[in-house]
Amino acid sequence: MEHKILFLPAFDRTDPDPKKNYGVGDLGIKFLVIGNKGIVEFDLSTNWYFDYVMDRRVEWIKDLVQQKKENFLIKHVLCPKPMDLCYYSSVKVFEDDCYFENGLHFLENKSLVYYGYKYMDEKENMVAHDVAYWRLIKQGEDALWQYLEEYYYEVFGQ
């Protein structure tokens, strides 16, 4: 199986026209396990934005601190965090798989038109992507790849 890491650049697509305002995004990191039957993706949000966006976020955080908001909120706007653990396939794997017409845009693969989650329950999926995150943090890249390959086999079989 192939392992690939993609870095998706931060963006600012704000616009005064609400119909054209797509907001800002941080630098994203995607860890991909690519096999014959599909792709497994672990998506990590870095919270790394353009400087001027970070300046606005710092002001927002100062307001949160003054309002004595929970540290949870502050941590989630400053620290990297797991966002997603999913798979992509050219055929439907599970009944609840979603279809997207243009395929996997970030790899320019038009044949991978289905995506889904092994754990359709939101809490179970959050646990799964948290496991991936903590494997990376505590044990490093090799442990993350091992976990993602196990997830691949759970979804697609051998």
Separation CA 125–CA 148 (nearest Å): 13
Give CA 23 to chain center in angstroms: 17
Residues 6+ apart with CB under 8 A from 33: 1, 2, 3, 39, 40, 145, 148, 149, 151, 152
Query: Which has the closest alpha carbon to 71: 83, 86, 61?
Result: 61
Whole-number average pLDDT of the chain: 84
6-26 mean pLDDT: 92
Q: Is the confidence at residue 123, as pLDDT, over 80?
A: no
101-113 mean pLDDT: 64
74-103 mean pLDDT: 79
Q: Is the confidence at residue 97, as pLDDT, over 70?
A: yes
**Residue found by looking up tokens 């653990």 in the block:** 85
Q: Is 86 helix (H, G, I), strand (E, B) or coil?
A: strand
Model pTM score: 0.82
Q: Read off the pLDDT of residues 31-82 as tens digits, 9 standing for 90 and up.
A: 999 998 889 999 999 999 999 998 988 888 888 778 766 665 667 778 898 9
CB atoms within 10 A of CB 153: 14
More confident residue, 123 or 87: 87
Separation CA 135–CA 152 (nearest Å): 16
Q: Is the confidence at residue 107, as pLDDT, over 80?
A: no
